[in-house]
Amino acid sequence: MENHHTFLYFAYGSNLLKERLQLKNPSATVHCVARLKDYRLVFGNHRGLASDRWHGGVATIEHSLGDEVWGVVWRMNMSDLESLDSQENVTLGAYSPVELSVKTKGQELNCRTYVMNSCVYAPPSPQYLQVRLLSLCPCSEHLHDCRTYVMNSCVYAPPSPQYLQVRLLSLCPCSEHLHVKLQD
């Protein structure tokens, strides 16, 4: 994790968006971008019950040899830990906190993240995908490989490169800087 005053949190879903995470966790600051090896991103609902907030599947991760999930590592004060657990519905049993090792620029970091319990696969809602896409604006100082990052190793078919580029252009105020190489 970190020292006794802060911890590292690996986000891969809606908490990629700084404005969303910092609403209830004001200490969160970007530490780096990292990847979690041997996991894949999936969308679903806890026990098959759609979220009242998102009206569709939400992100979780599951073990999958050879796959990887990209995300953001946030440094947060311990004082935000209870709020983060609450946001992830830990007390309701929807997600469980886990500590996993992520890789970034030649080093490994131990981070807290969350894994959905009793996940029933379900497609994400348009609102949920939009939050993930907003976090990937190509002018972001931290994120660059949008297509892989948005839907990497997802159970549901990822959007085509053309759709993703149109979507990013419509979301990013600096669309003239779209320099991301979208892979097929």
Catalytic (active site) residue 88: yes
User: Which is the catalytic residue, given 68, 88, 99, 108?
Assistant: 88
> Was 121 annotated as part of a binding site?
no
> Was 64 annotated as part of a binding site?
no
> Was 12 annotated as part of a binding site?
yes
Backbone angles phi, psi at 122, to 5 degrees: -155, 145
> Was 13 annotated as part of a binding site?
yes
Give the C-alpha separation, 21 to 80, whole Å.
Answer: 11
1 DSSP assignment: -
Give the C-alpha separation, 140 to 150, whole Å.
Answer: 14
> Was 57 annotated as part of a binding site?
no
E strand or H helix that includes residue 134: helix 126-134
> Was 128 annotated as part of a binding site?
yes
> Was 93 annotated as part of a binding site?
no
CB burial of 139-177 (b: ≥16 within 10 Å; e: otherwise) equals ebeebeebbbbbbbbbbeebbeeeebbebbeeebeeeee
* Annotated binding residues for substrate: 9-14, 128
* Annotated binding residues: 9-14, 128
Active site residues: 88
